[in-house]
Amino acid sequence: MTGTCVYDVIIAGAGPAGMTAAVYTARANMSTLLVENSQPGGQMTKTEAIENYPGYRHILGPDLSREMLEHSVKFGTEVLNGNVEEIKDDFPYKTVLVDGYPYQAKSVIIGTGAKHRSLNIPGEKELSGFGVSYCAVCDGAFFEDLEVVVVGGGDAAVEEAVFLTRFASKVTVIHRRDELRAQRILQNRAFAHEKIEFIWNHTVEEILGDGMVSGVRIKHTITGEESDYPCVGVFIYIGMDPLTSCVNRLGITNENGYVLVDENMKTSIDGIFSAGDVNEKMLRQIVTATGDGSIAAMSAQHYVDYLEEKLQTEQEVKEHDNASY
């Protein structure tokens, strides 16, 4: 389906939330357009192995991405490669600008995700998935009895450092200042833990290793002195950025840029739903994204039924009024 048609739903972003939503909407016979500007799969495509998605004891991220995409396409989802630039609320329909071209839909599901901030240092990209990780819940279990470092001093860094002690023999938090940003309760938990150590006033300048991480090069922020610190895992927790530039003008995000939804994945705008990591939420995982996606799909289905009924009634009233003259 292309050109001037109005889709029942356009889904922005083919991560696990968007692809699950597509499985549900397409299977419910809703005309579905799924738009993605890079590889379908989102952050999954950058995950070496996934061991916490039920039904798969071990699956490679790119393989699960392909499975989900094929699943949604099987039920008739149309996939478009392009960048969603803007989503507009043009009642009765929504307009989705993809690479400058307007597509129309009765409903929209936002599933654009969030991006972990990178240190942008040598070795980070090359060793991502080979000791460098941005997700302790996903990858922590690979570091049983091994020494890892966590970079950052916020809630996520400290919380995940504590989580990593379940597996690692030693967790060293490297922070650029001499005090943590994290909540006091999390700080106390980390300070009290026998497996956790801190390196203060240091930045990580390079991740070392040939094929696998073997250490980090760190630099004292005051003296400038550099040294190498051995480890086999580097967990980077220096914040996340939601990918919401396409909805900036809609006023549906909070002060950190995350989309605000109710329990049915409804935003404050009728017919616009949102699912997955782009939402303000507690746990950002594949399994929570797929759950959100299914709920958003069901909400979109109810909305489209309601809209069609409303438009039909308005049309009948108009025809009736015209006939009365």
Which of 176, 178, 185 is CA-nearest to residue 155?
185
Catalytic residue among 8, 99, 135, 292: 135
Rounded to a whole number of angstroms, the minimum distance from the CB of residue 146 to ligand NAP is: 23
Catalytic residue among 63, 89, 90, 139: 139
Nearer to ligand NAP, 53 or 237 (CB): 237
Q: Which 3 state secondary structure label does DSSP give 276?
A: helix
Residues lying near ligand NAP in the complex (CB under 6 A): 119, 151-157, 159, 176-177, 181, 203, 237-240
Half-sphere exposure of 181 (CA within 13 A, CB side): 14
Strands in 127-286 per DSSP E: 132-133, 147-151, 170-174, 196-199, 202-209, 213-220, 226-230, 233-236, 240-242, 272-274
Nearer to ligand NAP, 7 or 134 (CB): 134
Nearer to ligand NAP, 93 or 235 (CB): 235
Rounded to a whole number of angstroms, the minimum distance from the CB of residue 203 to ligand NAP is: 6
Q: Measured between alpha carbons, how far is 39 from 148 in angstroms, rounded to an integer? A: 30
For the question of residue 246 being annotated catalytic, the response is: no
For the question of residue 210 being annotated catalytic, the response is: no
Place of tokens 């900036």: 248
For the question of residue 135 being annotated catalytic, the response is: yes
Q: Which DSSP string do the residues of 49-77 spell out, in sequence order?
A: EE--BTTBSSEEHHHHHHHHHHHHHHTT-
Rounded to a whole number of angstroms, the minimum distance from the CB of residue 119 to ligand NAP is: 6
Half-sphere exposure of 124 (CA within 13 A, CB side): 16
Rounded to a whole number of angstroms, the minimum distance from the CB of residue 128 to ligand NAP is: 16
Instruction: Please list, in sequence order, all residues whose beta carbon lies within 8 angstroms of the beta carbon of residue 183, skipping any fewer than 6 positions away.
Output: 155
Nearer to ligand NAP, 237 or 303 (CB): 237
Answer for the pair 19, 68: CB distance below 8 angstroms, yes or no. yes
Rounded to a whole number of angstroms, the minimum distance from the CB of residue 123 to ligand NAP is: 15
Rounded to a whole number of angstroms, the minimum distance from the CB of residue 153 to ligand NAP is: 3
Place of tokens 């939420």: 281
Structure tokens at 211: 């094929």
Catalytic residue among 8, 138, 231, 277: 138
Nearer to ligand NAP, 233 or 271 (CB): 233
Which of 26, 48, 6 is CA-nearest to residue 293?
26
Q: Find how far residue 137's CA is from the centre of its chain.
A: 14
Q: Which 3 state secondary structure label does DSSP give 262?
A: coil
Nearer to ligand NAP, 64 or 136 (CB): 136
Q: Taking CB positions, which residue lies at the least distance from ligand NAP?
A: 154
Catalytic residues: 135, 138-139
